[in-house]
A and B are shown apart, each in its own frame.
Chain A
Amino acid sequence: MSGIRIKAAMSGDSAVIKCLMTHPMETGFRKDAKTGQLIPAHFINHVMATVADKTVLDAQWGGGISSNPFLEFRVKGAKSGDKVVVSWEDNMGEKDSADATIA
């Protein structure tokens, strides 16, 4: 199952697209409470979204975005039935992607 949840619905002229991504978003500056060792940086550093095959959002992130990140964006001119695809890559080369249909 994808670690990206998407809620997408029209609101007036724009599609309101809300995403919740599953990711620890470790900055690399935190220490493990037990071992005292730094927990390695592990965070989403690139997010992309398309609506009806057009790229609408391309973002670069750092570890300063909260864990299990929330992202909302709005797309004017999108229509009910359009397909939204949200994908991310992280600093360790892991990737994820999910799609939804705009309600």
Chain B
Amino acid sequence: MKKFILALASLGIVFGAVAANADPEADRMKIVNYLQHRNPDIKLDDYVYGALAFDADAKSQYDSIMDFPPFIGVIEQGQKMWNTPFKNGKTYADCLPNGGKMIAGNYPMYDEKLGKVVTFEDLINDCRVKNGEAAYSYSDMKTMGVLTSYARTLSDGMKMNIKVDGPGAQKAFDDGKTTFYKRTGQLNFSCASCHLDNATNHLRSEILSPVLGQAVHFPVFRGGETLVTLQNRFVGCFKQVRQIPDKEGSTRYNNLEYFLSYVSNGLPLKASVFRK
């Protein structure tokens, strides 16, 4: 681990300070153009595979494992949770738009009334609380993780479709963008240091995945076993670069997810996939 940190510290930085910019689409295209310029042979849709798109040996293992995923049983547990009515007889399908089908690509969404970003997981908890059940902890992979490992698959194939309309939404987007680009923590890294500036470079034996395509493929099952949601990965990543992590579901993490999801607009969602 120590060597890994030293290796991280040896990376340079290309992008400068965050410019005050009220055009999310320009922000997104800057990232897309930078990555496509650096990786002219990679199709846009292949960015959903992250580091795997840049390593045939790794992608081949992904394909073998995804042929019949070992975590199918966990997704089925999630399906059971999804289908089990609350004590009052209602179900998640009763609350969520379109019965929960083909909607995850719309989240996170800025809620004008609440004045904040709302995630797909927030939708689930709102439904639970509205129907007299206790909210799930966003940090608990056994409840929120397992449930969304199924619930998010109901939107497989949907293109990411995040909207940033109005000043409130713009402010949340900018907050996420700041978190992404700002160097901080003991090692003075930003997300961009690895996932943009050095995306597809090797960090010892790891290929750094590009930010484009990250938000569409969660939760993941690490090693085919360990369930990790997107914001649970934020926590892990913050710790690895020696930043103090938030708890999943914080405003900062919701805004970061908002920004990252917007960056992946147009890419198809696929939940519950294998990663190393």
| Residues of A that sit less than 8 Å from B by CB | 3, 5, 7, 18-20, 22, 66-70
Contact = CB atoms under 8 A, between A and B. Distances in A.
B67 interface: yes
Contact of B70 (A7, A18, A67): A67
Contacts, number: 26
Contacts of A69: 70
Those 5 A-B pairs whose CB atoms lie nearest each other, nearest first: A68-B70, A20-B68, A70-B68, A18-B68, A22-B73
23 contacts: A5-B68, A5-B72, A7-B68, A18-B67, A18-B68, A19-B68, A20-B68, A20-B69, A20-B70, A20-B72, A66-B224, A67-B70, A67-B225, A68-B70, A68-B71, A68-B73, A68-B224, A68-B225, A69-B70, A70-B65, A70-B67, A70-B68, A70-B70
A86 B182 CA distance: 55
Q: How large is the interface on B (under 10, 10 to 19, 20 to 34, 35 or more residues)?
A: 10 to 19
A29 B224 CA distance: 20
B137 to A, nearest CB: 20
Contacts of B225: 67-68
Interface in B44-73: 65, 67-73
Contacts of A66: 70, 224
